[in-house]
A and B are shown apart, each in its own frame.
Chain A
Amino acid sequence: MCTVCGCGEGETRIEGHDHPHHDHGHSHDHPHEHAHEHVHADGTVHSHGHIHTHRHDHTDHDHAHSQLHEPGAPHYHEHHGESGNTLHYGLGPAHAHAPGLSQARMVRIEQDILGKNNTYAAGNRKHFAEHGIFAVNLVSSPGSGKTTLLVKTIEMLADKARVAVVEGDQQTSVDADRIRATGAPAIQVNTGKGCHLDAHMVGHALERLALPDDSLLMIENVGNLVCPAAFDLGEAHKVVILSVTEGEDKPLKYPDMFHAADLMLLNKVDLLPYLNFDVTKCVDFARRVNPKLQVMQVSATSGQGMEAWVAWLMGGLEQARTARLQNVDLLKQRIAELEARLAAQS
């Protein structure tokens, strides 16, 4: 079952994936948690939480750490491969929480309910960073014009960037077929009863796409303004698409999505003369939910505003590429240092 909305699982299909796949159910990862605490000379008790997760389902070996610290809270160390299954709870909230009860009976968890997805998302994000891939997660309600916008975007980027698409829909590969008709590689993920893409599905799609370095990856999420808000896919930005044929009050009705997004594309603005849609009001509502939200008015059919959107994408691509090259430089520097040390010792 989907960890957000309770929708069914088990019917997920990823194109080219040859076995029926339960994306929520089966687990290839083995989180290990152990805790220990340090008492420093000055009497401060110091501890950290690490969860080490080993993933065996991807070609590269991901090793993700997620540190769960709360400011001001006593924190504790959890180390993989150390003191067996022992947990120390002396510092835990048990102190204040259950007076009279044995501390040993309190198991400290401190886990995000969506933590598993977040671990996969971190793996995807690492992959993107290493390969200079700029990934955007396009979210909207059904019928906002996401696929038409994508097709137009790919056409405009034809000579400028390598673009690939992950298409999420409950059923059919209609959308991926539309994308492939432009010449761009696309993988369709059918979520079956699922209402959103999760980071694990995207990880599998990445394996199939085998993106070259410095690519643009556009992930078209399932048309749904609720659940995809909660699922990090490892993307650089969520981009929410709202069309002017919908209500201008949608940002207030579905605040989580507009809060999670960094950019809102107000699509189908060529239809504004025929509608009673108040753009100012809509943008105002969206910024009530998310004051930092960037807004662009576009029309995928008339092309209006599309230059600004394409420029925004190119900017993101350039940043991702620069970051990758800096990483490569750092690695080269490190190799040189190690070779120098080796030479000195031999």
Chain B
Amino acid sequence: MHEMSLAEGILQIVEDAAARQDFKRVTEVRLEIGALSGVEAEALNFCLEVVLKGSVAEGARVVLERAPGRGWCLGCGETVEIQALYDPCPKCGGYQVQATGGTEMRVKDLLVE
């Protein structure tokens, strides 16, 4: 999707936390990015590098955890793994799959000094 601005959102969260928790440096930022969130990992990494420059998190290691895309297949009556919102069910090939997981975009935690 639009990684530059997500990076800005992440920076805001990190800076808010720094003000509240009183830490001076962030060495690692761990993110949970769902497979169906539309976020390109490489692009986000690139943008974070730029956006975090000059902040408490400059040079921090960015760890991306990809939450798998999951959907409920009406045909099969079970949860299946999907890679995109428009993917068919890998079991029955039907399109009656309602995404149930993998759309999250969150900052999980920070390693700080």
A106 to B110, CA, bound (A): 6
Interface residue ranges of A230-258 to B (CB < 8 Å) = 230, 251-252, 255-256
Does A271 lie at the interface of the complex (its beta carbon under 8 Å from any beta carbon of B)?
A: no
Does A109 lie at the interface of the complex (its beta carbon under 8 Å from any beta carbon of B)?
A: yes
Pairwise interchain contact A101-B6, C-beta atoms closer than 8 A: no
Does B1 lie at the interface of the complex (its beta carbon under 8 Å from any beta carbon of A)?
A: yes
Interface residue ranges of B72-113 to A (CB < 8 Å) = 74, 84-86, 88, 95-99, 104-113
Given contacts A111-B13, A255-B85, contact A5 B109 (CB under 8 A): no
Does B5 lie at the interface of the complex (its beta carbon under 8 Å from any beta carbon of A)?
A: yes
A227 to B6, CA, bound (A): 12
Which of B6, B16, B85, B104 contacts A3 (CB under 8 A)?
Answer: B6
Which of B4, B23, B88 contacts A107 (CB under 8 A)?
Answer: B23
Q: Mark B30-55, 1 if CB is under 8 A from A, else 0.
A: 10000000100000000100000000
**B85: A residues at CB distance < 8 A:** 255-256, 259, 289-290
**B104: A residues at CB distance < 8 A:** 112
**B88: A residues at CB distance < 8 A:** 288
Pairwise interchain contact B109-A107, C-beta atoms closer than 8 A: yes
> Chain B's interface: helix, strand, loop or mixed, by majority?
mixed
How many residues of A sit at the interface, in one of the four size bands? 35 or more
Q: Which residue of A lies closest to B105 (CB)?
A: A113
Which of B2, B22, B99 contacts A2 (CB under 8 A)?
Answer: B2
Does B58 lie at the interface of the complex (its beta carbon under 8 Å from any beta carbon of A)?
A: no
Given contacts A107-B112, A113-B106, contact A4 B16 (CB under 8 A): no
Q: Which residue of B lies closest to A112 (CB)?
A: B106
Give the interface of A toward B (CB within 8 A).
1-7, 31, 33, 85, 87, 92-94, 97-98, 101, 105-116, 226-227, 230, 251-252, 255-256, 259, 284-285, 287-292
3 residue pairs, one from A and one from B, having the closest CB atoms: A6-B4, A5-B2, A6-B5
